[in-house]
Chain A
Amino acid sequence: MSIRTWLAERLPIDAVQAAIDHKTVPLHRHSFWYYLGGMTLFFFGVQVATGILLLLYYRPSSAEAYDSVQFIMTRVPFGWLIRSLHSWSANLMVAAAFIHLFSVLYLKAYRKPREFTWLSGMVLLFITMGFGFTGYLLPWNELAFFATRVGTDIPGAIPVVGDAIVTFLRGGPDVTGATLTRFFGIHVAVLPAITTVVLGLHLLLVQYHGMSVPPSIEDEAARIGRPVRVMPFVPHFALRDLFGWMVALALLAGLSAYLPWELGRKADLFAAAPAGIRPEWYFLWTFQALKLVPGHVLGLEGELVAISVLSLGALGILLLPFLDPNTTRSRRVVNWLASAALLFMAVMTIWAYWGGE
């Protein structure tokens, strides 16, 4: 009896094999964007692998965190590479996730019956940003410390529960070692646990529904009376996916070797905030927008108004599949709104980098 037969008697290997054999991916001029989800998944895999290795040496206390990262960077064999890979991969993962979001948005892949795929994807994006926010503080350097102080201060503008949220996030009234321990716990236990469930659901739904075909391609196929072309998932799509991952790996290696992630100076709780404090690039647009809001808008506190608008925007995009009636006009409106949001984010980010001082 071969090993395969032995396993097939105990595991649903044949059923999985049959599913893989029959699985296809639409092939059209927008097929490139299908690879972005896989790319995000690849970076997530790098994060998990390098994160576990960093855990072997990292110490989550305000007294030891900075020194332990410095130890990783200078003493641990290939520690510099692991930390740089982790930091670069985190940033590329956020970038890939955002591109994935907008490609899904423009290609209208959130339409019925993929509402829950969209919802789980949005939750994964929020979790990714949560990973970024909590991970930024962990090296306990000056820049991260003050940026976290600014970032965790923002919910304080929310009436009634604002202060409670700030205290919950920081583990006290201010950013201290308690915040570091808390962020570490969230970064390595809470968020990975939630991610495992939501990512599992997301991938399951992607497999269940298959790749969405954009309305324009569907219309074209209907017009010429031919079905949309497809390619087998294995090996055609899988090998192309692997090709992209290898390119990403080469990029990661190059960035880590030529631009190793800097450590900065150790955080000093009693020092004055240095100039140029800013969050990670993917929070910059929010940071700049909040800075530009006047103290008071229509008699209300400006920061509260800005937070409300941003929250409403986030809620709107989360519930988009249920708000978009999927007509030609509504699709055009969504495209315009998405472009406006992209432009706003780009302008705010550039402003924060070069003119926001």
Chain B
Amino acid sequence: MTPTIRHAVVVGGLAVWLGATGWVVVARQPGTANVQDPAVAFQGDVHQQNGVTCATCHGAGTPGPVDRTKIAALCASCHSDPAFMRKYRPQVRTDQHAQYLTSVHGQQMSKGETRVATCSDCHKAHGVLPVRDARSPVAPANVAATCATCHADADRMTAFSRDPAVFDDWSHSVHADALLERGDTSAPTCSTCHGSHGATPPGIDSVANVCSTCHVREAELYRASTKRAAFEAMDMPACLTCHSNHKIVHPNDGWIDFKEPALCATCHATDTPGAPVIRTMRSGFDQLNASFHEAEAVLTRAEEAGMLVDDGMTALRDAQERRVRLRVLVHSFAEEPFTASLTEGLAATTRAQAAGEAALEELSFRRRGLALATLAILGFLLTLGIKIRSLPKP
């Protein structure tokens, strides 16, 4: 054997050994095991911890895979039995299977369509973790990625005439930002709007109800507005008309205008009904934003100069609250509540601006005072210096 071949054999052998070792290590890690190693995956499973064995689901004898169409019913044999489930958690819900049967997934599965989701697709078959466990695929931060396993699969979704871009859209939304970037687990993910076990797309009529679960005040204003009847007459999907469904981006004041890309401009022109309201809101936001930034700049300047401007900052926070409230009041699509709140917001920015200007005036007064005091001290020092020099030499 030549040295080159010997070298190649040694390196190759080493690579094979490393690969095999790595595979064993990875395969033995809980949560990374695949379906080919269910016994390993089952270690740490919430069922295993509560005394459930392979035979409980697979029956005695040689375990084989459970028929996909029967998985939900198999899980329900325990999870839909309140008396049984109470032994583990007194307040655990037992309506999941009933809900599943009403979902699009459940209905399709009942028809024998096995490509739709069942319990084990979202919760895993072996290695099931409680929802409150952050590693669980159905923990709030992981739900969207779990749904995306199927719903972002273009081939699979095309077969069901579904849009495979929904996950990508949601990923760019203000909701995804809140949930994934800021870690706000109360921010909506797929199951928040569509339901989890009873997952189904909300219909046009119920969209506002879904959004109003969190956006209570906006929904209240919308329902009381003239816009509701107009949207319903035109078969427009309430909130989604302006905000879209999955790719809900952060709203901005520029949406209210007659020029593209403003949202109002999609339907309204300067001479259509509702134009005066748009004009009022546009100029209101312009006024408030300008006075807010002006007050903020003055306060920042005073603060950076070492002045305490707590009163001004409190007024500015108040103005910011009014600004947020004003953005909510847009959903009234009317001038009246908007202008009243605008007046309050402008009053707050005026207070903030006045506090900042007073601080800057005080600063200027201090510096003038310092200049005078320094002059007086310098004059005294000069006199003292002359006196010292005039003293007889020791």
Binding site for B on A (CB under 8 A): 27, 70, 73-74, 80-81, 229-232, 235-236, 239-240, 242-243, 246-247, 249-250, 253-254, 257-260, 262-263
Contact = CB atoms under 8 A, between A and B. Distances in A.
A253 B370 contact: yes
A239 B384 contact: yes
B310 A70 contact: yes
Given A74-B310, A230-B394, A243 B374 contact: no
Interface stretch (B155-163, B329-337, B375-383): B375-383
Contacts of A246: 377, 380-381, 384
Contacts of B374: 250, 253-254
6 contacts: A236-B388, A236-B394, A249-B377, A257-B366, A258-B370, A262-B306
A243 B382 CA distance: 9
Given A239-B387, A249-B377, A257 B394 contact: no
Given A80-B366, A250-B381, A260-B307, 6 more contacts: A70-B310, A74-B311, A81-B366, A236-B394, A239-B384, A257-B366
B378 A235 contact: no
B373 interface: yes
Contact of B391 (A81, A235, A258): A235
Contacts of B65: none
Interface in B358-394: 366-367, 369-370, 373-374, 377-378, 380-381, 384-385, 387-388, 391, 394
B204 interface: no
Contacts of B307: 260
B136 to A, nearest CB: 29
Interface of B: 306-308, 310-311, 366-367, 369-370, 373-374, 377-378, 380-381, 384-385, 387-388, 391, 394
B370 A243 contact: no
B378 A243 contact: no
Minimum-distance CB pairs A-B, first 6: A231-B394, A257-B370, A260-B306, A250-B377, A257-B366, A243-B384
A338 to B, nearest CB: 30
Among A80, A243, A257, the most chain B Cβ lie within 10 Å of the Cβ of A257
B297 to A, nearest CB: 21
A242 B391 CA distance: 15
B360 to A, nearest CB: 14
B119 to A, nearest CB: 42
Contacts of A257: 366-367, 369-370
Nearest to B384: A243
Contacts of A236: 388, 391, 394
Nearest to A237: B394
Given A246-B377, A246-B380, A254 B370 contact: yes
A262 B305 CA distance: 11
Nearest to B359: A74
Given A236-B391, A236-B394, A250-B377, A242 B308 contact: no
Given A74-B310, A254-B374, A243 B394 contact: no
A46 to B, nearest CB: 14
Nearest to B368: A257
A253 B306 CA distance: 15
Contact of A239 (B367, B370, B388): B388
A129 B381 CA distance: 31
Contacts of A254: 370, 374
Contacts of A247: 381
A213 B264 CA distance: 89
Contacts of B306: 258-260, 262
Contacts of A70: 308, 310
A231 B394 CA distance: 5
Contacts of B310: 70, 74
Contacts of B378: 250
A24 B385 CA distance: 20
A67 to B, nearest CB: 10
Contacts of B385: 243
A109 to B, nearest CB: 20
Among A236, A240, A253, the most chain B Cβ lie within 10 Å of the Cβ of A253
A253 B384 contact: no
Contacts of B308: 70, 73-74, 80, 263
Contacts of A243: 381, 384-385, 388
